[in-house]
Amino acid sequence: MSFTIDPWMMRDLDLSGNELIIFALVCEAGEKGLSVSKPKLAFLSNTSVTTVRRVLSDLSERGYIERTHVGENEPSTWVACVGEQSPSSPSPIETPSGRNSRSRVMSIAK
């Protein structure tokens, strides 16, 4: 699985490495959101389930992601709140494009 870490994510959001990876995975899912179990997300981000729980909680508290579905026997769905943040954290649409704003792509083996 591959996902994109945009320059604005690194420049404007002040995220740790694990937060950046998990945020990028949620963003990559788009409007439908990321619906995946915490163990699977831990595997995709090469971290522990405990770290995934902490990162999801931290990103949610900071307003970067939102849980839109809480299922009893199925995973929660997480959606990125890009564009709903403070003016210092622009949405991708507000981010300049061009040669110097090329995205960084990371690949994670399934």
The distance from CA 92 to its chain's CA centroid, rounded to whole angstroms, is: 13
Looking up residue 7, the CATH number of its domain turns out to be: 1.10.10.10
Task: Specify the number of domains making up the chain.
Answer: 1
- What is the pTM assigned to this prediction? 0.70
Kindly report, residue by residue over 53-93, the tens digit of the pLDDT. Answer: 999 999 999 999 999 877 777 888 889 987 544 434 444 43
pLDDT of residue 73: 78
What is the mean pLDDT of the segment spanning 11-27? 93
Rounded to whole angstroms, what are the CA distances from 77 to 8, 30, 48, 66, 88?
24, 11, 19, 8, 26
What is the mean pLDDT of the segment spanning 23-38? 90
pLDDT of residue 83: 55
Task: For residue 9, give its domain range.
Answer: 2-107
